[in-house]
Amino acid sequence: MDTDPRELLRRHSVLPFATAFMSAKDAGRVEDTLLQGISKGPRSIGSLLRGVQYGLERPKFCRECVREQRQELGESFWRRSHNLPTVHICLRHGLPLWQASSAPLTASQHLTLPLPHRQADAVAQALPPEWSRHPLAEVTDATLRPDWRHQDGWATTYRRLALEHGYRMVSGNVAGARMSAELDAAYGEAYLQPLGLRAGVRQNWASLMVRENETAPFSATKHVVLQTFLRDGRPQLAFDYPKPGPARRDYMEVDKRLASALMGRIKALTEEGGRSSVEALLKGEGAWQVTCPVSSYQ
């Protein structure tokens, strides 16, 4: 089969979703890294692709799609668009997706996984709030299309949307903490936590994404969840910013939340056969802070 390798990546892998919110230049570099077989690239390829699968415990499928596939082809297959962490319904049929009865942990287990029509013990998946199901799938699906446009400055786009929807402080800045609290309330911790998105924390990942001139990379999952919220799910909560002065924190609760989040990441890495460092794990939870220069250690 005479297939261009770059087109194969773009049409039949999850890479377009993983790189959707990068600049066109950076996304192209990631493609080149994969195609050239280079182990080191602009970002860790393994980490990038693991991030796409975070929260996706088992392969998913639409039963109506499977019925149509068998009628047309005599066989069934796993749809790429169904197997991304922010997709929970089939856009074609509007039906909730089902999960495979087992969770493959290795490449060989993926290859031997029974096809969807042979999933006799398939289980229903836990669904996000009803308001978000269709919008989440739409935003995710758009990233897989050939006409998806990469851009720089997503933070600017999110700041504009947040301000348009009233997340504005007296100073004119984005009310990031309030926006984060309402995002948590809209989705619920039961949905956000399995995706690795910490909930119930002031100034969490969502507030960082609307900071002016923010250039740090964020996962595609975070982009989709924030975009969907700013477009479709904005509850009005009673929310007050803390009064000026030293803030009192329940450090025991902070430690418990951090320990729980770290255990989840370590478990996921262990199941995937991945590796990480203490620094990378803590940075992933926003808890890595150097308080003195390395040179001061004796």
Domain range annotation of the chain: 1-53, 57-127, 148-232
Dist CA 21 CA 220 (whole Å):
6
Range 21-41 burial, b when 16+ CB lie within 10 A, else e: bbeeebbebbbebbeeeeeeb
Q: What is the pLDDT along the chain (298 residues), one digit of tens a residue?
A: 577 888 988 999 999 999 999 999 999 998 998 888 765 554 567 777 777 877 788 899 999 999 999 999 999 999 999 999 999 999 999 999 999 988 776 667 777 888 999 998 888 888 899 999 999 999 999 999 999 999 888 999 999 999 999 999 988 999 998 999 999 999 998 899 889 887 666 668 999 999 887 778 899 999 999 999 998 866 555 555 555 556 566 667 777 777 887 787 787 778 777 777 877 777 666 666 543 344 333 3
Closest alpha carbon to 197 in 259, 255, 134, 264: 264
- How far is Cα 39 from Cα 111, in angstroms, rounded to an integer? 24
What whole-number distance in Å separates Cα of residue 168 and Cα of residue 179?
A: 9
What is the value of pTM for the model shown?
0.76
Beta bridge partners of 99: 60, 123
- The dihedral region occupied by 159, where left means phi > 0, alpha psi between -120 and 50, and beta the remainder, is alpha
Are the C-beta atoms of 191 and 129 separated by less than 8 Å? yes
Pairing mode, if any, of strands 123-124 and 60-61? unpaired
